[in-house]
Chains A and B, each alone.
Chain A
Amino acid sequence: MSATDADLGRPEDLSERERKAVEAQLFRLADDEYVQAERYTFWQVRSPTLESDLAISNNAQDELGHARLWYDAIQQLGYSEEDLLWESDPSDFQHATFVELPFEEGQWANAIVRAYLYDVAEDIRLAAVEDSSYRVIRERASRAQGEEGYHVEHARSWLERLAADADASERAQEAIDELYPYALTLFEPVGAVESDIVELGIRTQTLDEMRTEWENRIVDTLSELGFSVPTDADVASPIGRDNEHTDAWHSLHEEMTSEYRDLGRDSATVIMDPEDE
């Protein structure tokens, strides 16, 4: 396997250039999952039915679990959870703006469209790092991949339901029109590290290739369901990846870290195995 031939080795074996590229890839994976999960949890105890509440909670926890895998990989490079999540600035985060957009009560069609656009992109990205030259990414990607398949199915079956109803399909179409330019932020390149990520085999596809595949997949599915996709739209701004975020992220981050600050904490709890307690 070519990826193994070019294996970058252990965290401590990385050159400065390799390390920067590995970090850039890991931060995108981790921050996207973390913030997407956070927004999903908005729907806990607010979903239309008990069943849909349980399902979206599952997705939130899967994504939180993936975020933990990626943040753990970042911690192997010398960071701590405190640095990453609790004592950092909102502008330290590199997630795409797409995942930070807030929901309002009732915007279920928006939640489903967002889940669908995200889950397909995540599926493609995980496939692109499955053969990563960095072992930690390679191994963890395949752990996360199994769950992402269910997520795509979940979102798709909801889209089918929405498409079959006049009012609901209008809501979904509005969400597609609104979210599409933001979804493109997932594929935005940032700086010179971009070419390194691919040249060093950390990811085996370029962002352009991933975006093309994503666009083909979602246009196929959505047009089959009777929706139109504004494929000529420009990418939304700010993009997030370059640390420029919307106000919605700043206030979300403020809220997420409020108790840590109010309690005067200087460390984040890692829960021990309940057996050990």
Chain B
Amino acid sequence: MIVEEVKAQAEPRRFTPKDDMPVEYRKAATRMLEFHANSEIMGAYLERPFIRRAPSLERKMAFSAKTQDEIGHGQMLYRAAESLGIKTREEMLDDLANGDGKFLNCFHYPMESYAETPMIAFFVDGAAMRRQATLKKSSWEPYAHAMDKICFEEGMHVKHGESILRELMSGSKREQEMVQDAFEEWWPRILQFFGPTDDQSTHHDFAAEVGLKVSSNDELRNSFLNRYMEKAKHYGLEIPDEPRIRERDDGTYDVVEDDLDWDEFFTVSQNEYDGSIEQITGRAQAQEAVQWVRSMMDNPTSTPNRSAQAAD
């Protein structure tokens, strides 16, 4: 199939590994899936300290389950990415460890306090839900298929995040202030979650033309703002004055791009921000420490001094 045919035929779940897809399509789909899978892993890495620190037994269980879900999502998405024949999972995981793999901007900022956790678990996951729901209509069937299960579980995660937010915001004054501080710090990053406005986005055109992506950054940001600004206010959070957000006559929002720190955003995107280095290196070290296990699984050596053999 040539690119023009793909564009002509593009519709939800149209293409499967049985189709002979052009390399341009396969590369674009790999790029999206790898980014998405990496983000699941790095999101899990960001939240893992709160399994230990969660302030109730049931919250601990929920954080453990959520972290596990994210790893499961990563596993599914890497599989869908591998089915494109461009990169193996090992290559993608190696790239993530060595700093070449890219992932969502919000997962480059370590969290210090429990009061920050709803910034990820409610706002960022809520934003991710917006995007992921549209990807159920992706033209790459394995991607769309993975989104069915992932969206279901993400729905639970957003509820978990909302429940933590509600609890903190109906807690002591100190708790409320901690959350408001966290919100002011995270809000610009959350707005940048959807990337630059459409006219400045480099990858959108091709991915949209071949049906990999069905909504633009602007549409998704709008849909998120419509719902989540109200939610934030409902729980008693004050939306910061900057970045300025103007409501247009048609009910959509215009975020003043100049109020956002795009230098930081692009530093983050290149994995060069301090937080990026901290998160990537921390995870890479943990992975390096168990390299001996992976080597053993790939290539067990014989043990003449022991009677045991590989189980089978």
A residues neighboring B (CB under 8 Å): 34, 38, 41, 44-54, 57-58, 60-61, 64-65, 67-68, 71, 81, 85-86, 104-106, 108, 157, 160-169, 171, 224-227, 255-260, 262-265, 268-271, 274, 277
Find out whether the CB atom of A61 lies under 8 angstroms from the CB atom of B68. Answer: yes
Complex Cα spacing A86 to B54, Å: 11
Distance of B56 from chain A, by nearest CB (Å): 4
Q: Is B286 an interface residue (CB 8 A)?
A: yes
Number of interface residues of B (CB under 8 A): 62
For residue A71, which residue of chain B has the nearest CB? Answer: B57
Q: Is the CB of A271 within 8 A of B163?
A: yes
Q: Do residues A167 and B305 form an inter-chain contact, with CB atoms below 8 A?
A: no
Pick the contact of A81 from B57, B114, B307 — CB < 8 Å? B57
The chain B residue sitting closest to A65, CB to CB, is B61
B290 within 8 A of A: yes
Residue from B172, B283, B305, B311 having most chain A Cβ neighbours under 10 A: B311
- Among A61, A171, A224, A263, the residue within 8 A (CB) of B55 is A263
Query: Closest CB-CB distance, B92 to chain A, in whole Å?
Result: 11
Q: What are the residues of chain B within 8 A of A71 when measuring CB–CB?
A: 57
Contact check, A277 vs B159: say whether CB atoms are below 8 A apart.
yes
B256: A residues at CB distance < 8 A: none
- The answer to whether B310 has its CB under 8 Å from any CB of chain A is yes
Candidates B57, B294, B300; contact of A164 at CB < 8 Å = B300
Query: Does chain A have a CB within 8 A of B215?
Result: no
Question: How far is it, in angstroms, between the C-alpha of A34 and the C-alpha of B54 when the chains are bound?
Answer: 14
Minimum Cβ distance to chain A for residue B289 (Å): 3
CB distance from A35 to the nearest CB of B (A): 12
What are the residues of chain A within 8 A of B294 when measuring CB–CB? 48-49
Residues of chain A within 8 A (CB-CB) of B159 are 274, 277
Quick check: B60 and A64 within 8 Å, CB to CB? yes
CB < 8 Å: which of B54, B71, B156 contacts A259? B54
Residue numbers in A under 8 Å from B113 (CB-CB): 259, 262
Contact B64 A64 (CB under 8 A): yes
Q: Do A86 and B55 contact each other (CB < 8 Å), given the known contacts A54-B72, A57-B68?
A: yes
In the assembly, what is the distance between CA of A226 and CA of B306, in Å? 5
Contact A161:B311 (CB < 8 A) given known A41-B64, A45-B44, A64-B64: yes
Alpha-carbon separation in the docked complex, A48 to B286 (Å)? 9
**Chain A: interface secondary structure?**
helix
Q: Is the CB of A68 within 8 A of B57?
A: yes
The 8 Å CB contact of A262, one of B44, B50, B114, is B114
B65 touches A226 (CB 8 A): no
Cβ of B41 under 8 Å from chain A? yes
1/0 contact string of B19-51 vs chain A (CB within 8 Å): 000000000000000000000010011001011
B58 near A: Cβ within 8 Å? yes
* Pairwise interchain contact B55-A269, C-beta atoms closer than 8 A: yes
- Shortest A147–chain B CB gap in Å is 14
Instruction: Report yes or no: A44 in contact with B67, Cβ–Cβ below 8 A.
Output: yes
* Pairs A–B under 8 Å by Cβ, sample size 5: A44-B51, A57-B67, A64-B64, A108-B290, A164-B302
- A108 CA to B297 CA in the complex, in Å? 13
Contact A47 B306 (CB under 8 A): no
- Given known A-B contacts A108-B293, A262-B114, A64 and B57 have beta carbons under 8 A apart: yes
Q: Which 6 A-B pairs have the closest CB atoms?
A: A226-B306, A106-B289, A48-B293, A160-B311, A268-B56, A57-B68
- CB–CB B290/A47 < 8 A: yes
Name the residue among B44, B56, B57 with the largest chain A CB count within 10 angstroms: B57
Closest to A81 in B: B57
- Expressed in whole angstroms, the Cα–Cα distance for A60 and B57 within the complex equals 13
Contact between chains at A274 and B156 (CB < 8 Å): yes
